[in-house]
Amino acid sequence: MGGKKRIVIAEDHRILREGLKSLLASKPEFEVVGEAEDGLDAISVVRGSKPDLILLDLSMPRLDGLSAMRDIKKISPETKILALTVHTDEDYVLEAFNEGADGYCLKDAGRAELLRAIESIFSGKPYFSPGIADKVLEGYLEGRQRIKSTSAWETITRREREVLKLIGEGFKNKEIADLLFISVKTVEKHRSNIMKKLDLHNAAALTAYAIEKGLVTY
């Protein structure tokens, strides 16, 4: 059946990216056809290579993995997505699958588990790391919707989250506009909306909030 499974690795830490590449190279049925170190690069690489699978880090510079997933699925619907992350929070898991993930693997996974995750996805089955809480797995499989009050964070739209992440990474309005292919006025509007929703009043407060929410890591 067919040829090798074509895989892209999107991970901002080079040493981890090289480790993943070495692992996949040891399996003759896999071929690494591209690498990316942030979400925007990941989208570009998928657009050019249309891989069978992308290993996608959820916490990357410029554009995080969750934000990149939606575009990746639009560009290449057949591409499977295995989220790689340190996050075990229910919100991250459910959002990842809502955005198009086919599997969710924690970064402390061993070699055998990662290969098992990839094989599961290629066989058409969603994959969850054993470290994910049972209640999260059950909630996803049963399609239950959790009932909870809406926090200020939950009012932030996907685009506003992207802008907040870039603000937290130190980008200026013009740079954010260029990265997201929108106008400076649109960036300013998003910035104003974010500040109102979160009741934050300067760039330092926005940066601190972005770090607290895991959008920016140092």
What domains does the chain contain, in order, with CATH numbers?
A: 5-142 (3.40.50.2300), 153-212 (1.10.10.10)
Which pTM does this prediction carry?
0.70
List Cβ neighbours of 117 (8 Å cut-off, separation of 6 or more).
Answer: 82, 103, 105, 109, 127, 129
Check residue 143 and give its pLDDT. 57
Mean of all residue pLDDT scores within the chain: 86
Q: What is the pLDDT of residues 29-73, one digit of tens each?
A: 999 999 999 999 999 999 999 999 999 999 888 888 888 998 999
Q: What is the pLDDT of residues 70-82, one digit of tens each?
A: 899 999 999 999 9
φ, ψ of residue 95 in degrees (nearest 5): -65, -40
Check residue 146 and give its pLDDT. 46
pLDDT at 201 over 80: yes
List Cβ neighbours of 100 (8 Å cut-off, separation of 6 or more).
Answer: 69, 70, 72, 73, 81
Residue 139: CB atoms within 10 Å: 16
